[in-house]
Structure formats: structure tokens, C-alpha cells
Amino acid sequence: MRVKECLDNAGPGWPGLVEAERLGEAAWLLAFDDEIAVAVEWLDEDPPRIAIASPLGVPPIDRRFNVYETLLNLNGLWRENGGVRTSIEAGGEVAIGISTQCADAADLRQVIDAWRAVAVQWRAYVNQPAAALTVPGLNPLFFNLRA
């Protein structure tokens, strides 16, 4: 089965897939039960490729700078990380994406399932609350001392 046909017929045979919607001539949106959405675009190239992306959420305000800095660093390493790219969408939503080879339907499922595992980890990082701030080196007993 060809990749486009597989995406058009995605459904009960794909573990975890909740919904698949065709968005255009060569674009689909897949929703999975782990709350990961995967946008897939067929790139008619030689060799055949797909572009896949997932929204990861909006980082908590107190971690936003750190998360954005990490994403910029990840973008700078795109050659070393297999081509993964990140973006910041309107409203601060973070997304992650990649363009990769995809020859057939079996390859498609393998690529998207691997992508979901990556997206789950990055979503956890992006949405993780900041650790409680502490002031190092202060012992509470010092506040009870009187001169």
C-alpha cells in the first residue's frame, strides 16, 4: 500500500490512533490516544519524503525563556540530530518537526510511531513546571537567633 493510501485509510489497524483527517491534497492530521497530534505532509520528491510535526504546548511562564533557549540550541544542531527543527507558533505554542524519507506504508507507521515517542518526551519537557526556588546556604535556625 502506498503512503497516501495508508494515510487515507488510517484507522482501526493503527494502535492508539483516535482520528485521522485529510487536510488537503497531500496533508493529514493524526490524533492519538496519548494526546499527541501529528501533522503529516507528503513531499513528492525522489526519494519519497514526508514532513511531520507535532504541537507540544505552551511552556509555563517561569520556564519559557529556558525552553525557548533549548529549542534554539536544538535548531542549531539540526545536522547532528537527524534534521529535527523546532518553532514557536502564535501564542507561544511550541512545535517540533522533521522531514524524513518514507518509502511505503510499513515505513510510514514505523516513522510516525517513533516520532510520537520523541514528541511525548519533548511535550513533557516543554510543559514541566519549574522547580521550587530555594535560596542555598540559609539555615532556618539562624532566623531564631536573637542578639
pLDDT digits (tens, 9 = 90+) for 57-109: 999 998 898 889 989 988 888 888 788 899 998 889 999 998 888 777 778 88
**Quick count: other Cβ atoms within 10 Å of Cβ 80?**
9
Tens digit of each residue's pLDDT (9 = 90 or more) over 40-50: 998 877 777 88
CATH of the domain at 38: 3.30.1460.10
* Model pTM score: 0.79
Residues paired with residue 85 on neighbouring β-strands, in sequence order: 97
Considering Cα of 87, then 110, then 15, then 19, what sign does the dihedral take?
A: positive
- Total domains present in the chain: 1
d(C-alpha 49, C-alpha 33), whole Å? 25
Residue 52 has pLDDT above 90, yes or no: yes
- Find the domain containing 101 and state its range: 3-144
48 contacts 35 by C-beta, under 8 angstroms:
no
Q: Which three cell numbers stand for residue 84?
A: 529535527
